[in-house]
């Protein structure tokens, strides 16, 4: 089976292709879409519809991000834009490593301002969210939304060779390590994107 994937993010492509080994993902050249929805699902559906209008063939699209409780759910749907200017985050960042350090700093400051113990994982709760849309017609689609619950680490994982984006600062207490330190198989099994894709696989199997 072949599906167009509404993304230009090579990390997402590589990760999703390993999660969906029996599906050939085709990446549209120069695909862009204004993500102006108010939640992950709206943005995911909008990206899927924008691509479907171009290729007129089944597509998948995902919108995902990191939501942190003590920051009121931020960076949320603005995760990829965090640090690009002061509308998104408290600090300007030039790369992902700076974004990760800034998130940790922002969490620590927020907890201090609220007189909350920054050493407790309970106060550092966060989650990755992924909304994955499968579309076969402009108004015929299904969307699966999943999460990976965790906590903001006290510092980014050092020398983590796996993951990407915010993975080095999302700590999983039950595993004793960050998402970036999981093996590829572990991450694909428990991640927000992996779990959403598992729902898609079951859905596609039921159609056959």
Catalytic center residues: 63
Cβ atoms of 48 and 6 closer than 8 Å: yes
> Whole-angstrom Cα distance, residue 136 to residue 120?
45
> Whole-angstrom Cα distance, residue 4 to residue 60?
6
Of the CA atoms within 13 Å of residue 34, those in its CB half-sphere come to 1
**Residue 131: CB atoms within 10 Å:** 25
Helix orientation angle between 10-19 and 192-207, rounded to the nearest 10 degrees = 50
Positive or negative CA dihedral for 82, 88, 92, 94?
Answer: positive
> Whole-angstrom Cα distance, residue 178 to residue 142?
31
Find, among 87, 78, 97, 92, the residue nearest to 39 by Cα. Answer: 78
> Whole-angstrom Cα distance, residue 208 to residue 203?
9
């Amino acid at each position: 089976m072949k599906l167009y994937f509404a993304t230009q993010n090579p990390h997402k492509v590589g990760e999703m292709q390993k999660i969906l080994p029996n599906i050939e993902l085709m990446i549209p050249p120069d695909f862009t879409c204004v993500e102006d929805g108010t939640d992950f699902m709206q943005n995911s559906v909008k990206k899927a519809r924008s691509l479907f209008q171009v290729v007129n063939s089944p597509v998948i699209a995902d919108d995902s991000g990191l939501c942190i409780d003590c920051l009121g759910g931020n960076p949320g749907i603005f995760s990829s834009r965090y640090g690009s200017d002061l509308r998104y985050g408290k600090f300007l960042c030039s790369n992902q490593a700076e974004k990760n350090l800034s998130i940790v700093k922002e969490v620590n400051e927020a907890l201090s301002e609220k007189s909350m113990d920054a050493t407790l994982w309970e106060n550092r709760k966060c989650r990755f969210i992924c909304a994955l849309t499968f579309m076969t017609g402009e108004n015929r689609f299904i969307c699966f939304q999943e999460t990976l619950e965790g906590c903001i680490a006290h510092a980014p994982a050092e020398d983590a060779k796996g993951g990407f984006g915010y993975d080095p600062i999302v700590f999983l207490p039950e595993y004793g390590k960050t998402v970036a330190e999981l093996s590829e198989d572990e991450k694909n099994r428990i991640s927000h994107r992996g779990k959403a894709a598992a729902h898609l696989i079951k859905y596609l199997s039921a159609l056959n």
